[in-house]
Amino acid sequence: MFYQPLLLPLLVQVALTFAVWVLLYVTRLGEMGRKDIDPQRLTDPSATRALLTESAGPADNFRNLFEMPVLFYLAVVVSLVLLIQDSLLVQLAWAFVVLRVVHSFIQCTYNRVIHRFIAHAASSLMLALMWVRIGMFVFY
């Protein structure tokens, strides 16, 4: 078996995305049931925001998991293709994923903006450092 250390944080990030997806549907369907909302009333995104306030955190977080993490996925793929892994790159990948888990937990639960911002900014820094590290391998 060919072990790639970067695959485990990648799989954890994918698992986080699916976990938030499940949470989104559970909370959204529950809210729709409690509020007796006809799904057809949700065709307009602004109506969805107005009507489904309780599930806004998971919905926002799910969308957010397709923003900066896309650059994480690309960084891992580039690293694997170019065979440029080292312990620092793996540590940065893990730091990014752990901070994204923290960010998701905050946004899907108590949603304190400053806490969420710190987790997001720190994870983005880890991602930027991953790209710097990749660049160091490629250009030096």
Tens digits of residue pLDDT in 90-125 = 999 999 999 999 999 999 999 999 999 999 999 999
Q: Does residue 1 sit within a domain?
A: no
Number of domains in the chain: 1
Distance CA 78, CA 65 (A): 19
Q: Does residue 62 sit within a domain?
A: yes
pLDDT > 90? residue 129: yes
120, 129 contact by CB (below 8 A): no
**pLDDT in the model for residue 2:** 64
pLDDT > 70? residue 136: yes
Provide CB contacts within 8 A for 78, sequence distance 6+.
Answer: 84, 134
Q: Does residue 27 sit within a domain?
A: yes
**pLDDT in the model for residue 47:** 87
Q: Does residue 78 sit within a domain?
A: yes
pTM of the complete model: 0.93
∠52-55-56 over CA atoms, to 5°?
A: 80
Q: Does residue 2 sit within a domain?
A: no
How many other CB atoms are there within 10 angstroms of residue 50's CB atom?
Answer: 11
Q: Does residue 128 sit within a domain?
A: yes
| CATH code (residue 44) | 1.20.120.550
Tokens encoding 119: 């987790």
Distance CA 60, CA 91 (A): 27
Tokens encoding 125: 């820094």
Distance CA 131, CA 139 (A): 12
Boundaries of domain holding 28: 7-139
* pLDDT tens, position by position, 16-69: 999 999 999 999 999 999 999 999 999 998 989 899 999 999 999 999 999 999
